Amino acid sequence: MRLRARHYKTGEVVDIVCANGVIRDVGSPRPPSPDVEAGWVAPALFDLQINGCDGRSFNSDRLGVDDVRHVVRVCRDHGIAGFLPTLVTNSFDAVRHGLSTLRRACEDDAEVAAAVPGIHLEGPYISPEDGPRGAHPRQHVRPPDGDEFRRLQDASGGRIRLVTLAPEYDGALEFIEWLAASGVVVALGHTGASGARIRDAVGAGARLSTHLGNGCHAVLPRHDNYLWEQLADDRLWASLICDGHHLPVAVVKCLLRVKTSARTVLTCDASSLAGLPPGRYVEWDQEFEVLPQGKVVVAGTPYLAGSAVFTDACLAFVLRHAGVSLAEAVDMAGARPRELLGLPPRRLQPGDPADLLLFEHNPNEPFRVVRTLVAHDSPLAPASGARGERGG
Phi-psi region of 260 (alpha: psi -120 to 50; beta: other; left: phi over 0): left
Q: Pick 382 or 308 by higher pLDDT.
A: 308
Predicted confidence at residue 377, as pLDDT, reads 53
Residues 4-22, mean pLDDT to the nearest whole number: 97
Residue 384 pLDDT grade (very low, low, confident, very high; cuts 50, 70, 90): very low
pLDDT tens, 247-257? 999 999 999 99
Residue 386 pLDDT grade (very low, low, confident, very high; cuts 50, 70, 90): very low
Predicted confidence at residue 391, as pLDDT, reads 30
Give yes or no for a contact between 168 and 187, defined as CB atoms under 8 angstroms apart: no
Whether the predicted pLDDT of 320 surpasses 70: yes
Whether the predicted pLDDT of 380 surpasses 50: no
Question: What is the fold, at CATH topology level, of the domain defined by 2-42+348-382?
Answer: Urease, subunit C; domain 1 (2.30.40)
pLDDT tens, 348-378? 999 999 999 999 998 777 899 999 999 875 4
pLDDT tens, 232-278? 999 999 999 999 999 999 999 999 999 999 999 999 999 999 999 99
Mean pLDDT of the chain: 93
Residue 99 is which amino acid? L
Residues 33-40, mean pLDDT to the nearest whole number: 95
pTM of the model: 0.94
Residue 126 is which amino acid? I
Q: Following DSSP, what letter does each residue of 14-51 receive, concatenated?
A: EEEEEETTEEEEEES--SS--SEEEEEEEEPEEEEEE-
CA atoms within 13 A on the CB side of 277: 0
Residue 288 pLDDT grade (very low, low, confident, very high; cuts 50, 70, 90): very high
Q: Following DSSP, what letter does each residue of 247-276 receive, concatenated?
A: S-HHHHHHHHHHH-GGGEEEE--B-TTTTP
Give yes or no for a contact between 341 and 12, defined as CB atoms under 8 angstroms apart: no
Predicted confidence at residue 300, as pLDDT, reads 87
Greatest extent of the chain over all pairs of C-alpha atoms, in Å: 65
In sequence order, the 6+-apart residues with CB closer than 8 A to the CB of 260 are none
Whether the predicted pLDDT of 379 surpasses 60: no
Give yes or no for a contact between 60 and 54, defined as CB atoms under 8 angstroms apart: no
Does domain 46-341 fall under CATH 3.20.20.140? My reply is yes
Whether the predicted pLDDT of 385 surpasses 60: no
Predicted confidence at residue 362, as pLDDT, reads 87
Break the chain into its structural domains and give their ranges: 2-42+348-382, 46-341
Predicted confidence at residue 383, as pLDDT, reads 43
Q: Pick 302 or 121 by higher pLDDT.
A: 121
pLDDT tens, 146-185? 999 999 999 999 999 999 999 999 999 999 999 999 999 9
Predicted confidence at residue 119, as pLDDT, reads 98
Whether the predicted pLDDT of 283 surpasses 90: no
Predicted confidence at residue 50, as pLDDT, reads 98
Cα dihedral: 278, 367, 328, 216 (round 10): -10
Predicted confidence at residue 231, as pLDDT, reads 97
Instruction: Report DSSP state, residue 207.
Output: -
Whether the predicted pLDDT of 387 surpasses 90: no
pLDDT tens, 42-96? 999 999 999 999 999 999 999 999 999 999 999 999 999 999 999 999 999 999 9
- SS3 state at 160: strand
Which of 63-72, 167-176, 302-311, 328-337 has the least mean pLDDT?
302-311
Burial of 142 (0-12, 13-18, 19+ CB in 10 A): middle
